[in-house]
Amino acid sequence: MLLNNNVTEFILLGLTQDPVKKKIVFVVFLIFYLGTLVGNLLIIVTIKTSRALESPLYFFLFYLSLSDTCFSTSIAPRMIVDALLKKNIISFSECIIQVFSLHFFGCLEIFILILMAVDRYVAICKPLHYMTIMNKRVCSVLVAVAWVGSCVHSLVQIFLALSLPFCGPNVIDHYLCDLQPLLQLACSDTYVVNLLLVSNSGAICTVSFAILMLSYLIILYSLRNHSAEGRKKALSTCISHIMVVILFFGPCIFIYTRPATTFPMDKMIAVFYTIGTPLLNPLIYTLRNAEVKNAMRKLWSKKLISEEQR
CA separation for the pair 43, 245 (Å, rounded): 19
Q: Please, which pLDDT band fits residue 5 given cuts at 50, 70 and 90?
A: low
Record: fold of 9-300: Rhopdopsin 7-helix transmembrane proteins (1.20.1070)
**Cα 64 versus chain centre, distance:** 8
For 154-187, the pLDDT digits (tens) are 999 999 888 888 887 889 888 999 888 888 888 8
For 244-299, the pLDDT digits (tens) are 888 889 888 888 887 766 666 888 888 888 888 899 888 887 766 777 777 777 77
CA separation for the pair 290, 301 (Å, rounded): 16
For the segment 23-49, the average pLDDT, to the nearest whole number, is 92
Residue 307 has pLDDT above 60, yes or no: no
Helix (H) or strand (E) holding 88: strand 88-91
pTM of the complete model beyond 0.95 = no
Query: What are the residue ranges of helices labelled H in the chain?
Result: 19-49, 56-73, 76-82, 92-125, 130-133, 136-162, 179-183, 191-197, 203-222, 228-256, 266-271, 277-287, 290-309
Residue 105: closest CA among 76, 46, 64, 139: 64
* Angle subtended at Cα 149 by Cα 146 and Cα 153, rounded to the nearest 5 degrees: 135
For 207-221, the pLDDT digits (tens) are 999 999 898 888 888
Single-letter amino acid, residue 184: Q
- What pLDDT, on a 0 to 100 scale, did the predictor assign at position 261? 67
Domain ranges of the chain: 9-300
